[in-house]
Structure 1
Amino acid sequence: MSLLAAGATAPSVATQLAGSGLIGLREGLEAGIVVMILVAFLVKSERRDALKWVWLGVGTAVAMVAATFLIIHFGTSTLDGVAAEIAAGIASLVAVVIVTAMVLWMRKASRSISGDLKSGMEKALVVGPYAVLSLAFFAVGREGLETALLMVGYAENTAGSPWPLIGLLLGIVVAAVVTVLMYLGAIRINMATFFKYTGVALVVVAAGILGYGVRALQIGGVLPGATMPAFDVSGIYDAGSWYGTVLGGILNLRPDPTVLQFAAWAAYLVIVLFLFLRPSAPSRRSQPVQEPAAT
């Protein structure tokens, strides 16, 4: 029995597009900024000959991410019954762990990512082409794996709908366009503000995936308390209404969460948002992510 069949309502198309589009925009822009920094550094260093190795590394990373998503997604879709719930629950929890680690890491790394990438590229140019390829591969692949795992957890809650994938691709396209415009100097974005607010949104989405994963594992018999609701507001909460589909699709709020599910959801939001939003000490290595237009 799937979680949707257990009483949840499939999110609306607009909600699915918004949730996955946010993931694609945020993660796509992170990866785009990495590529932009590497390309701008090579152009300014008059090492355009190394650009082909950067693009080869990026292409390899994209292929690896796509394969990872397809293997995990179709692997879980071939299961049914209790096995499907357990697999979906485990995939959701793994996605939450990785996304949380990456969001918290980006909170600090964003201040020095430009300097770190330039330093890494200087060393890679000395070593040779394969070092340049590896630097681009791992820098982009890290962001891509986060996206793939987050999308697996998100897609599990949409009853096999294709709209989350469409929303993800649209978000990535928008991120690519914004990255190109930034590279050309046509627009400037306050990246600190962007990553702050999109980071908060991702934490909220991850909390919903965590709640889904806990409920799935309860239905699968791995975790206890499947029949212990924390509360039930089904009488006044219409899961099929516009607000019900929004809250159910993005926040994964149910009218009858279990005690463990609601506790995990609330605790995650409080703890991770506190860690993410708490003030951080300024770093001497801080450099703006925004790169000037290439010449």
Structure 2
Amino acid sequence: MLGNFLIGLREGLEASLIVSILVAYLVKTGRRHLLGKVWTGVSLAVAVSLGFGALLTFGPKGLSFAAQEFIGGTLSIVAVGLVTWMIFWMATAARTLAADLRRQVDAATDSSWALPLIAALAVGREGLETALFIWAASTAAGTDGSPAGGPLLGALLGILVAVGLGYAMYAGAVRINLSKFFAITGGFLIVIAGGVLAYGVHDLQEAGFLPGLNNLAYDVSGLIPPAGVLGTLLKGIFNFSPAATVLEVTVWVAYVAVVGTMFVRLVRRKAPPVTSSQPSAVPAVRATV
């Protein structure tokens, strides 16, 4: 059960962190009316993940390994694209806070489905992987005499802990000012997105769509076991892999270096001078937890 608890924790932690940032972002900017879109995306992803698990369990046969990795890799790359868009929007918003942030947010989010798509992809990717892991573990449990429901219970407990950690991050995020919020969460998202991109590349390598699967850049599995607590936490938060290919490392470094540099430059730019027709300060946004 411990192994499946760690699987649920690892797979649920990244999705919980991204969703908590999205929710805190909307609450901080007074856009609570858009929370329904985020939860719609989350609900859709959960439904698809449950349906996928049911298909694996009751269908005629499971999905091929190559197809599993291709789906996971594709979802990862699409999610990175959407998260990157949001990161740069956050940097721009932080730079123009004094120029009526509320009007900017209205124009950028009221007609956009980017937020629910990010939520759906973040939860959906982890949900599909969790369904695959639970299905495999349940199948093995059914053949070795152990309770078949053990893997499901362990993974569920891990997911609940991940959700709790995500809520704790949300509770802290809504208490800092908007400028710091955008800067901190934007930087954190860059690291997360870099890990997701590298993970997606690895999935596509395992599916045979990209080369270099056996060309490792490093392997510290002996120091940080992938199934251990430290390895699980690093995987869940940063998508860190104890063994990574050269292509994975190259993609991660390139993404973090380029996107991180652009983000820092945007955040450091001085806000434009506020004219007399503009509000002198952004109205305070109160958030209750």
TM-score by length of structure 1 reads: 0.66
Report the alpha carbon displacement of residue 262 of structure 1 after superposing the two structures with TM: 1.6
Q: 1:115 aligns with which of 90, 100, 116?
A: 100
Partner of 1:182: none
Letter in 2 for 1:291: A
Write out per-residue CA displacement over residues 88-138 of structure 1, whole angstroms, 9 at most, x where no aligned residue: 1000010011101111111112444682544887x9xxxxxxxxxxx9753
Report the alpha carbon displacement of residue 222 of structure 1 after superposing the two structures with TM: 0.9
1:284 paired to 2:273:
yes
TM-score by length of structure 2 reads: 0.67
Q: 1:143 aligns with which of 79, 90, 115?
A: 115
Report the alpha carbon displacement of residue 83 of structure 1 after superposing the two structures with TM: 0.8
Separation in 1, partners of 2:238, 2:105? 38
1:98 paired to 2:82:
yes
Percent identity between the two aligned chains: 29
Name whichever of 274-283 and 61-70 sits farther off: 61-70
Q: 1:213 aligns with which of 195, 200, 207?
A: 200
Verify the 8 A CA contact 2:46 2:127 in the aligned structure 1. no
Q: CA 1:172–1:293 in 2, change beyond 3 Å: closer, same or farther?
A: closer
Report the alpha carbon displacement of residue 68 of structure 1 after superposing the two structures with TM: 4.2
Partner of 2:142: none
| Counterpart secondary structure, 2:202 | helix
Separation in 2, partners of 1:92, 1:268? 14
Gaps of 5+ in 1: 1-8, 39-54, 124-134, 180-187
1:263 paired to 2:256:
no
Report the alpha carbon displacement of residue 205 of structure 1 after superposing the two structures with TM: 1.5
Partner of 1:31: 26
1:204 paired to 2:191:
yes
Verify the 8 A CA contact 1:65 1:145 in the aligned structure 2. yes
Partner of 2:68: 84
Superposed counterparts of 1:223-234, under 5 Å:
223-234=210-221
Separation in 1, partners of 2:44, 2:227? 33
Q: CA 1:292–1:249 in 2, change beyond 3 Å: closer, same or farther?
A: closer
Gaps of 5+ in 2: 56-62, 135-154
Separation in 1, partners of 2:197, 2:44? 20
Partner of 2:145: none
Letter in 2 for 1:218: Q
Superposed counterparts of 1:43-192, under 5 Å:
55=33, 59=36, 61-62=37-38, 64-70=40-46, 73=49, 78=55, 79-112=63-96, 115=100, 117-118=102-103, 137-138=110-111, 141-155=113-127, 159=133, 161-162=155-156, 163-164=158-159, 167-168=162-163, 171=166, 175=170, 189-192=176-179
| Counterpart secondary structure, 2:217 | coil
Partner of 2:239: 252
| Counterpart secondary structure, 2:208 | coil
Separation in 1, partners of 2:14, 2:96? 29
Write out per-residue CA displacement over residues 137-159 of structure 1, whole angstroms, 9 at most, x where no aligned residue: 536x4433322223334455654
Verify the 8 A CA contact 1:69 1:152 in the aligned structure 2. yes
